[in-house]
Chain A
Amino acid sequence: MTSGSIRRDALAIGLASGAYAVSYGVLAVAAGLSVAQTCSMSLLVFTGASQFALVGVVGAGGGVLAALAPALLLAARNGIYGLALVPILRGRTLSRALQSQLIIDESTAMARARSERASAHRAFLATGLSVFVFWNLGSLAGALLGGGLGDPRALGLDAMFPAAFLALLAPQVERPAARIAAIFGALIAVALVPFAPVGVPILASVLGVVPAMRELRRTAAGTA
């Protein structure tokens, strides 16, 4: 995997995220946030799903406390990504603390798709920075210009993200244990969508590692 292809893929993911950020900016201002608040949230929170959830609840007339609960549940999965990135992130504590702000679905998926540590770290940084730049520019554009920029769904951008995650997952599930983790995780999440609060299905999918660890122990015992 060359640096050129990492940069190109990271740029495409960033641009698609930027288009979504325009929608976020429009919704945030419509929900009563100022332009400064809309942009500060993208800089400080920098987790798309949480930001959409927050302005969605506030825009529908819900209170701030009611809006914070789903936003926090959606943000919690970044904690799991942070753990997955411990072996990949480099640098001193301060540098790692700064890089942590870039931990999101996209940067984690791009990093974990690469088995070699240095290129995984390059993919993490390139994707995180690309999404950060376009997410914040898009938020500002949406907040200032309003809804004249079209619906990202008409361009099929909502279908782009699951396709991207599938492509980035594929090289990770060649090992049987990872395949088991993926299948159980996906089933747990889909089964929970109709019942659980927003954010919980993805978070609960982490339990997919339990049968995967059993598989690892079983094969380790078999070869010992």
Chain B
Amino acid sequence: MSWTAIVFLGAAAYSMKALGPVAIGRRPLRPALAQVLELIAVPLLAALVLVQTLDGGGRLVIDARVPALCVAALLVWRRAPFLVVVFAAAATAALLRALGAA
């Protein structure tokens, strides 16, 4: 692995991160653009939820993460605190794996 590749990837990753905050900065936003920016992270976060639950290396798989997400969804619906949700999900997956069930 070359240092050039590491520095290049670092510079590229940082440029993408900084594009919005530095280029748009604190200028007032047109209302239509402001509306898009309010929404733009929502589909990505929703996609992360399902992809991180179902992706088994380029194909969709059902394993211990699925019941864990169901437990999390139930707790979110019941308005449980954040830490309860995440630890219950982790415990569900860990327990199912320890039992060899998923």
Contacts and interface: CB of A to CB of B under 8 A. Distances in A.
State yes or no: do A and B come from one complex.
yes
B9 interface: yes
Nearest to B22: A97
A216 B40 CA distance: 13
Q: Which label, helix, strand, loop or mixed, suits the secondary structure of the B interface? A: helix
Interface residues of B, number: 73
Interface in B80-102: 81-83, 85-95, 97-98
Contacts of B60: 190, 193-194
A172 B43 CA distance: 11
A153 B90 CA distance: 9
Contacts, number: 292
A224 interface: no
Interface of B: 1-3, 5-14, 16-22, 24-25, 29, 34-55, 58-60, 64-65, 68-69, 71-73, 75-76, 81-83, 85-95, 97-98
Interface of A: 5, 8-9, 12-13, 16, 31-33, 37, 40-41, 44-47, 50, 54, 58, 64, 67-68, 71-72, 75-87, 89, 93, 96-97, 99-101, 103, 105, 108-109, 112, 153-170, 172-173, 177-178, 181-186, 188-190, 193-194, 198, 201-202, 205-209, 212-213, 216
